[in-house]
Amino acid sequence: MNDPFKITEPTCISFSGGRTSAYMLWRVLQSNGGLPAEAIVCFANTGKEDEATLKFVQDCSEQWGVPISWLEYRADGYVVVDFATASRKGEPFDALTTKKSYLPNPVARFCTQELKVKPIKKFSNIEDDGTMVGVRADEPNRIVKMRKRGMLIPLADAKVTQRTVQAFWKAQPFDLGLEFRNGVTADGNCDLCFLKGPYQVISLVLNSPNRAVWWADQEKKIGATFRSDRPSYASMLQYSKEQINLFDPNEEAISCFCGD
């Protein structure tokens, strides 16, 4: 059986900053005796990732001795940054909504394409069929989407599940400093991403109300909301102060390229 983590041609390893994609990177390093000359690892920062995510990306680079290229969207393209210079106040995302003059939503999810996919493609000069993403065997919907795009999904090919990933990180000397609970890392990716489940979002707002300020400011700036089927972020911020339970805790999130 061929090793799905073995790299023999130009490959871009898309590192989301989560435990799953980090595990994928580790498997690549194990299968190739380090990072092959044909491969590049890219992390695209939206400016809305939790600080723990940024630290985790840096820790993986330092602990495993692997170079990771940090990229950020700019209105005229992208820039290369690092842990010290990476945006932490949503600047790339804000630049995108300012340029577009409208907000992404569940139907038009251009934020992922513009903030992550395009900067990585431009920097690496590698198309989808040479891009490796962290999709597990227990993510059937994402598997279908990524296979349609022709992307490399070695974790799915190797039958890796969430249980495998979590067991790996429990045995490591370092980890992502974000809680894994009920099958998800709620604080992962953009902190209050509109694709996250509604109960998940309001729980995050209740835990840290200041998170909602940036999102509410974006809606005020554009004069619209990220979703028409939910209260605005400003409303959620107000509800959090009143401790009102808005959503069904069983409603699921919408899958996205961003991954874990």
Return the CATH number of the domain spanning residue range 11-170.
Answer: 3.40.50.620
What pLDDT sits at residue 253? 45
Q: What is the DSSP string of the chain?
A: ---TT---S-EEEE--SSHHHHHHHHHHHHHHTS--TTEEEEEE--S-B-HHHHHHHHHHHHHHT---EEEEEETTEEEEE-TTT---SSHHHHHHHHHHSS---SS--HHHIIIIIHHHHHHH---GGGEE----TT-HHHHHHHHHTT-B-HHHHTT--HHHHHHHHHTSS---SS--BTTB-TT-SBTT-TTS-HHHHHHHHHH-TTHHHHHHHHHHHHTS-S-SSS--HHHHHHHHHHT---S-TTPPPPP-TT--
What pTM does this model have? 0.91
What pLDDT sits at residue 128? 96
Check whether 80 has a pLDDT greater than 90: yes
Start-end of CATH 3.40.50.620 domains in the chain: 11-170
Chain centre to alpha carbon of residue 130: 19
For 40, the 3-state DSSP assignment is: strand
Which tens digits make up the pLDDT trace of 166-221? 999 999 999 999 999 878 887 888 999 999 988 889 889 998 999 999 999 999 99
